[in-house]
Amino acid sequence: MKFTVEDNDPDVTVDSDGDGITATTANLTVNVGDDPANVSFRQGRTLSADDIVAASTNQTATDDGSFPAQLFEAKVGTAAGGDILSLSWKGQASSVDDAHPVTMYAYNFTTQGWEKVATADSNGEMTGEFPAADHLRDGNAVILVQQVAVDGYPTTALPDESAFTESVSLRSLDEAGQTTQSSWDGTGIPENYDFSFAWETDTQYYAESFPYHYDNMNQWMRGQRAKARHPLRHAHRRHRR
């Protein structure tokens, strides 16, 4: 037996000038057409930068073959039955492709495992939604962002609560002038970094065959060094004949 249900996209309007919106009331209307329908209005809440804490164990690079991971704790507080959490992330990771996308996971404290909730698009943006039920520990949700194979599972373990402290909240990081792994889009000069380096390959060929370009490249690096906030290292590689 086949049932067919007509699509119904309700026309929802909110008080446009805001004069009817208070801390406890709002003027809302919905038009669901002529067919009977159950309609409910739900209240949303936005978390502030103080409510999102980055784990002190977060890594921006690894040397053991694993992918770096970002862990966050969202201080949700008390959640009612049926509440939905929605979190957005934007950033970049190296070597991203269709088989190894950047993925967002939420930890399920009932099944004790990570659940995939979103995959970043070509711009490095994603929004994950998941029910508050089973995903809160003392009112807090734990989120993992990591580049993982499409059919893979993150190997990052759930950190102890001590990894999340107020000193590494997104607001405290911003006020301290620090950046998180996702705060630099790969262009321009980042606000915070330890060092930078310039790499030249086959310099003997540039010097012999393209001296004008070779000089321009080095003059450009010299200019960038003057702009750098930290030391600029220079390395070159020369092939033996």
pLDDT at 201 over 70: yes
Q: Is residue 55 classed as helix, strand or coil in its secondary structure?
A: coil
- When the pLDDT of each residue in the chain is averaged and rounded to a whole number, the result is 78
Higher pLDDT, 179 or 216: 216
Q: Is residue 12 classed as helix, strand or coil in its secondary structure?
A: strand
Q: What would the pLDDT profile of 171-194 be if each residue is shown by its tens digit?
A: 665 665 554 544 555 666 666 666
pLDDT at 130 over 60: yes
State the pLDDT at residue 241: 52
Cα 127 to the center of its chain, rounded Å: 9
Q: 10-14, 117-121, 173-177, 190-194 — which one is most confidently predicted on average?
A: 117-121
Whole-angstrom distance, CA of residue 39 vs CA of residue 27: 15
Tokens of 193: 């970094």
Going through 83-124 in order, the beta strands assigned E by DSSP cover 84-90, 102-108, 113-119
Least confident of 145-159, 162-176, 219-233: 162-176
Whole-angstrom distance, CA of residue 46 vs CA of residue 1: 44
Higher pLDDT, 187 or 145: 145
Q: What would the pLDDT profile of 23-51 be if each residue is shown by its tens digit?
A: 777 777 777 777 777 777 677 788 887 88
Q: 160-164, 173-177, 222-226 — which one is most confidently predicted on average?
A: 160-164
